[in-house]
Amino acid sequence: MSSGQRLPCHKNQATRNPVTRDSPPERRSNTHRVKQSVVLPLLLGMASLLALLIQWGPTGNIAGSIDRDLLDKFHAMGRMTAPREDIVVLGLDDASLTLAAAWPEDIEASPTLQAMKQGYPWPRRVWAQLLDRLCNAGAKVVFLDLAFINAADPDDDRLLGEAFRRHPGQVVLGAKFDISVVGQEELSELVLPNESIIGTASFAEGGLGLLNFWVDEDHVMRTANFQRTRAEASGGLIDPTEKPLPSVARTLATIAAPDCLKGVGAAERLRFCNPAAYNPRSMHEVFVPELWKANYSNGDFFKNKIVLVGAVSQQLQDYQKTPVGTIFGVQLHAHALTALMNHAFVSQPGTGWLWLAFTLAVLIAWLLVTYVRQPLFSLLTMIVLSSAAFAISILLFNFHSIEFSPLHFIVPLISCGVAALVGDFLVQLAEKRKLHRALMRYTSPEFVNEMLKDRAGIYTTLGGVERVVTVLFSDVRGFTSMSENMTPFEVVSQLNEYLTRMVEHVPKNRGVVDKFIGDAVMALWGSMRAKSDEADLKRDAFNAVTSALAMLKALDELNAGWKLRGIAELRIGIGIHQGSVIAGNIGAASPMEKMDITVIGDSVNLASRLEGVTKEYGVDLIISDAVYQQVKEDFLCRSADLVKVKGKAKPAEVFAVIGPHPSEPLGGLAAYEQGVRLYREGNFTAAREAFTQAASERLKDELTRVYIERCEALIQNPPEHWDGVYVMTKK
Give yes or no: residues 643 and 538 share one domain.
Answer: yes
Closest CA to 610 of 649, 578, 567: 578
Query: Residues with Cβ < 8 Å from 661, sequence gap 6 or more?
Result: 634, 635, 636
According to the model, what pLDDT value does residue 19 have?
41
Give yes or no: residues 291 and 160 share one domain.
Answer: yes
According to the model, what pLDDT value does residue 501 have?
92
Give yes or no: residues 329 and 462 share one domain.
Answer: no
Query: Residues with Cβ < 8 Å from 701, sequence gap 6 or more?
Result: 618, 619
Confirm whether 179 is domain-assigned.
yes
CA dist., res. 209 & res. 671, Å (int): 122
According to the model, what pLDDT value does residue 448 have?
65
According to the model, what pLDDT value does residue 138 have?
95
Cβ pair 71, 403 in contact under 8 A? yes
SS3 per-residue string spanning 464-523 = EEEEEEEEEEEEECCHHHHHCCCCHHHHHHHHHHHHHHHHCHHHHCCCEEEEEECCEEEE
CA dist., res. 176 & res. 146, Å (int): 10
Q: How many CA atoms lie within 13 A of 502 on its CB side?
A: 28
3-state SS, residue 690: helix
According to the model, what pLDDT value does residue 12 have?
37
Confirm whether 687 is domain-assigned.
yes
Give yes or no: residues 171 and 318 share one domain.
Answer: yes
Angle at 79 between CA 77 and CA 80, to 5 degrees: 95
Query: Residues with Cβ < 8 Å from 380, sequence gap 6 or more?
Result: none
CA dist., res. 435 & res. 23, Å (int): 15
Closest CA to 248 of 201, 193, 308: 308
Q: Calculate what percentage of the chain has a pLDDT beyond 70.
A: 87
Give yes or no: residues 492 and 410 share one domain.
Answer: no
Q: Which mean pLDDT values do the consecutive 10-residue runs of the chain (731 residues) have? A: 36 38 44 62 86 82 88 94 96 92 90 92 94 96 93 92 93 90 74 90 88 92 93 74 92 94 94 95 94 94 96 90 95 96 94 92 88 85 94 95 93 89 79 68 60 50 74 88 81 91 90 87 84 90 96 95 91 94 74 70 90 89 95 94 74 91 88 93 93 91 92 90 68 41
Task: For residue 329, give the DSSP letter.
Answer: H
Give yes or no: residues 403 and 546 share one domain.
Answer: no
Give yes or no: residues 342 and 357 share one domain.
Answer: no
Q: Which of 661, 687, 703 is the last residue of a domain?
A: 661
Confirm whether 60 is domain-assigned.
no
For the chain, the residue count is 731
The overall longest dimension of the chain from CA atoms, in Å, is 156
According to the model, what pLDDT value does residue 518 have?
85
**For the chain, give me the number of helices (H) and strands (E)?**
26, 23
3-state SS, residue 402: strand
Provide the CA 280 distance to its chain's centre, in angstroms: 50
Neighbouring C-beta atoms of residue 447, cutoff 10 Å: 24
According to the model, what pLDDT value does residue 5 have?
36
Confirm whether 622 is domain-assigned.
yes
Cβ pair 609, 586 in contact under 8 A? no
- The H-assigned helical ranges of 407-483 are 407-440, 445-453, 479-483
Give yes or no: residues 292 and 360 share one domain.
Answer: no
CATH number at residue 485: 3.30.70.1230
Count of domains observed in the chain = 4
Pairing of strands 208-210, 171-182: parallel
Cβ pair 633, 659 in contact under 8 A? no
According to the model, what pLDDT value does residue 529 have?
73
Confirm whether 62 is domain-assigned.
no
According to the model, what pLDDT value does residue 240 have?
77
Provide the CA 434 distance to its chain's centre, in angstroms: 26
Give yes or no: residues 636 and 676 share one domain.
Answer: no
Confirm whether 429 is domain-assigned.
yes
Is 241 exposed, middle or buried, given 0-12, 13-18 or 19+ CB atoms closer than 10 A?
A: exposed
According to the model, what pLDDT value does residue 206 have?
86
Q: Which of 623, 638, 661 is the last residue of a domain?
A: 661
Q: Which of 391, 406, 435 is the last residue of a domain?
A: 435
Q: Which domain holds residue 388?
A: 33-55+349-435
Cβ pair 233, 217 in contact under 8 A? no
3-state SS, residue 190: strand
Confirm whether 28 is domain-assigned.
no
According to the model, what pLDDT value does residue 9 have?
38
Give yes or no: residues 41 and 132 share one domain.
Answer: no
3-state SS, residue 304: coil
Q: Is 452 left (phi over 0), alpha (psi -120 to 50) or beta?
A: alpha
Angle at 601 between CA 595 and CA 607, to 5 degrees: 110
Q: Per-residue pLDDT tens for 203-231? A: 888 899 999 999 998 999 999 999 998 88
Give yes or no: residues 205 and 297 share one domain.
Answer: yes
Cβ pair 636, 662 in contact under 8 A? yes
According to the model, what pLDDT value does residue 286 have?
95
According to the model, what pLDDT value does residue 200 have?
85
Q: How many CA atoms lie within 13 A of 58 on its CB side?
A: 0
Give yes or no: residues 194 and 321 share one domain.
Answer: yes
Angle at 243 between CA 238 and CA 245, to 5 degrees: 105
